[in-house]
Structure 1
Amino acid sequence: MPATANNKMDASASTLPLTSSLMTKMKPAKIFKGAIEPLTPLTPGSYSRTLNMGPRHITGISFDDRGDQVITAAEDETFRLYNCKTGKHLKTLYSKKYGVDLPRFTHSKTAVIHASTKEDDTLRYHSLHDNKYLQYFKGHKDRVVSLEMSPVDDGFMSGSMDKTVRLWDLRAPTCRGLLNVPSIPIVAYDVSGLVFAVAVNHYSRILLYDQSQFDRAPFLTITLEDPTLSFISYPPRAIYMTSLSFSSNGKYLLVGCSGDAHYIIDAFEGHVLAKLEGHVGLERRKMDAPLGIEPVKGNSGEEVSWTPDSKFVVGGSLDGKILVWDVQNLQTRENLPINLQAHPERVKPLVILDGHPGPTRCVKFNPRFAMMCTAGQELAFWLPDLSADAEEIAKELLKKKGISA
């Protein structure tokens, strides 16, 4: 399946096992250069959005449960819906009044929830079919920076700059649970939906809660510490967490950070097992910083993620590169030499892929197909280029059918 603009996903793509060899063959199959609208000048030298004089970016992407569709949200206040199988743009929807961020498919391919970027801090339940709001979820007093749909039901969870975590249900406009935390929280569900995690940057801690007893104390508190940072500067710089996600087997937590490292933590014991290196962190603290990224909420919070089988981690970089880390053989804390047990294993990329211009703010793998989406100023669909291996694949298929080549 060569990676060309006319390439289509077929049924075989969903059965391709993700191997180290295949991950090194990922290439952009299609790049959507019109995936975000340029700034519109009002008068010579001025723009409609004076707070962001640099290029605008896609800040969020989400796949539906079947992996058939992907939706993007961008700083031009648009949703854009794409078909993953045909590689075609389906429709553009606008939310100029409220802005859009953190799009998340519900368990229906025709509806999403999303956060607002202006007017108020209400969460919105949006029908993609007829471009109407189905429900409003009010309660947050500041911008929502983390939003996750439950993997098993109609529940969802939000974290806001008002230092609260709220638990919701699509069927009710008021929240069914509230947690107050010391600083801006980042949230994530485990695959069973029975446990959720809350990252609190002020104390560099990750709190794990039982979903059914969220009003009680967390059953596990993890402190994110990296002794290797003291080799670079002293006192070591603080780690700023921007995203959390559990592995598909529930064993690990991937902690995305704004700097030049991400971390993998044992979700049962809380040990920091691995430090993922090799990318250029998206962290920018000032509006006039290079490339115009100002992480009001960290970054996009979507610049690093698992593959569906959790064998690999894919991530973006400030220079537009796409990195793949092989995490299939992580050493447990018990298997490390005594003198290294306090230090995470430093994992270099399996491969660094050429992406698209500018910072890569979103990187996600399709939940059903051997396909990846990356986004920044542009949106790219990635597929494995197997053209060089076509003969070997054909021989393998013939062998399975009992036919000698």
Structure 2
Amino acid sequence: MSLKVNGFRPHAPSTKLATPTSTSSSTIQISAQTLTTCQPTKLFNYHHETSITSLDFDDSGQYLISSGVDKSIQLYDCHKGVHYKDIQSQKYGAHSARFTHDGLNCLYASTPDASATSEGKEDDTIRYLSLSSNQYIRYFKGHKAQVSNIEVNPAHNNFCSSSYDGTVKFWDLKSSSATGSITVGQNSVCGFDPQGIVVAVGRYPLGESQSGTLGLYDLKTFDKGPFAEVAISCLQNQLWNKLEFSNNGKLILISTDSREHYILDAFSGKVLAIVRLSYRNDPQWMSTEYPYSGCCSFTPCGKFLLVGSPKSIIHIFDVSDLRTDVERPVILSRSNDILKTRQLPKIILFNPKLFVFATADTTVKLWQPFENQT
């Protein structure tokens, strides 16, 4: 099925992507072999060695934004491989910056300020910003605590947000008030399927619990509850920081701050695989003082998963043949294909259109296949 909403057409999953320096007719196949040739080609330090908390590519794949605890949003041009703009948000902070489908516009969440918190004056507003003019388009108010996760619907002009107030709220870009809300009872992660029809909400374990929950909701009838809900056995005190559907619509990824991550069937919610990196179970695995948007990412074709680790290694897993008829999930503990980096790959995100992916910790790196470099 092909959707076209307000001039935006969700891109079809492809095993071939253009490189930034290629013409539109010159593409490269996504495979384990080409992924292992990737090397960092650009490094950006515009957050000045402070923690970066989110990355996002626009629909065209040309632009990338990062947000960080330095209370700034940085804009990069992936075609030219250059830093494009510095957007300061010193008054409100900046986290979970996400492009909308309308030009160089983005949403972002406020971050708590110590003085404001002590005075009970935290600002939990979501801001809609024109990156071109640096002017605010709209404010979205309704959450009662910090917003940890913003996800834009890939096919429509609406978005969802999760917050430490224990709710997931739904918004239309044209209205300042939420169009609906789900009470989860704790902070959670959320995400849309590629067609913008289903929203998934993941509630991770708290305290001594070792069980999380994934709920799948029809976006039109979310107020009636999930049409599917499954329990997920997971590590104690584990924080979930990202929920991502594969672009082919088959899989759901739950990225965490631990050595375990989860791949689920997008239709039933069943856990198909547990990515369990075979390092010592360090309680400070990928934990940071600040929330961040996940150390795992599907490739656009949905056949491979990139996973960062505290050993400064990016693991490449083939997830193209996960079966739904097995009783127990597959344990993916060792990848034959890896990439080494001097930087901690705390955040990983693959470009939707170009054979480029980004990693971040305190700096942002752009990676490309080596064989396509001049």
Structure 1 runs (4+) greater than 3 angstroms displaced? 236-240, 279-285
Secondary structure of 1:370's aligned partner: coil
Q: Deviations over 1:313-348 (max 9, x none)?
A: 112222332222111222x142x4xxxx23433352
Q: What CA RMSD, in Å, does the superposition of the two structures yield over aligned residues?
A: 2.4
In the alignment, does 2:203 pair up with 1:209? no
Q: What CA distance in whole angstroms lies between the structure 2 residues aligned with 1:148 and 1:239?
A: 21
Do the aligned residues in 1 keep the contact of 2:171 with 2:178 (CA within 8 Å)? yes
Q: What CA distance in whole angstroms lies between the structure 2 residues aligned with 1:218 and 1:156?
A: 18
| Matched residue, 1:245 | 244
1:310 corresponds, among 278, 287, 302, to 302
Q: Computing the radius of gyration over CA atoms, which structure comes out larger, 1 or 2?
A: 1
Larger strand percent: 2
| Matched residue, 2:13 | none
Superposition pairs for residues 318-357 of structure 1, below 5 Å? Answer: 318-330=310-322, 332-334=323-325, 336=326, 341-357=327-343
| Matched residue, 2:363 | 378
1:182 corresponds, among 178, 182, 185, to 185
Q: What CA distance in whole angstroms lies between the structure 2 residues aligned with 1:163 and 1:374?
A: 29
Q: What CA distance in whole angstroms lies between the structure 2 residues aligned with 1:383 and 1:199?
A: 32
| Matched residue, 1:53 | none
C-alpha change, 1:13 and 1:246, in structure 2 (3 Å) is: farther
Which stretches in structure 2 are left out of the alignment for 5+ residues? 1-18, 113-121, 206-210
Query: What residue identity is the alignment partner of 1:160?
Result: S
Measured after TM superposition, the shift of residue 291 of structure 1 is 9.3
C-alpha change, 1:11 and 1:284, in structure 2 (3 Å) is: farther
Q: What CA distance in whole angstroms lies between the structure 2 residues aligned with 1:281 and 1:169?
A: 44
Superposition pairs for residues 5-404 of structure 1, below 5 Å? Answer: 9-11=21-23, 15-32=27-44, 34-38=45-49, 56-118=50-112, 119-202=122-205, 204-225=212-233, 237=236, 239-278=238-277, 293-295=288-290, 297=291, 300-330=292-322, 332-334=323-325, 336=326, 341-357=327-343, 359-386=344-371
Query: What residue identity is the alignment partner of 1:205?
Result: T
Q: What CA distance in whole angstroms lies between the structure 1 residues aligned with 2:190 and 2:289?
A: 21
Larger helix percent: 1
Q: What CA distance in whole angstroms lies between the structure 2 residues aligned with 1:277 and 1:156?
A: 31
Measured after TM superposition, the shift of residue 195 of structure 1 is 0.4
Secondary structure of 2:21's aligned partner: coil
* Aligned positions, number: 342
Query: What residue identity is the alignment partner of 2:219?
Result: Q
Secondary structure of 2:97's aligned partner: strand
Q: Deviations over 1:58-107 (max 9, x none)?
A: 11111010001101111111111111011011111100000000010000
TM-score (structure 1 length as normaliser): 0.79
Do the aligned residues in 1 keep the contact of 2:61 with 2:353 (CA within 8 Å)? yes
C-alpha change, 1:158 and 1:83, in structure 2 (3 Å) is: same
Do the aligned residues in 2 keep the contact of 1:280 with 1:317 (CA within 8 Å)? no
Identity %: 33
Secondary structure of 2:321's aligned partner: coil
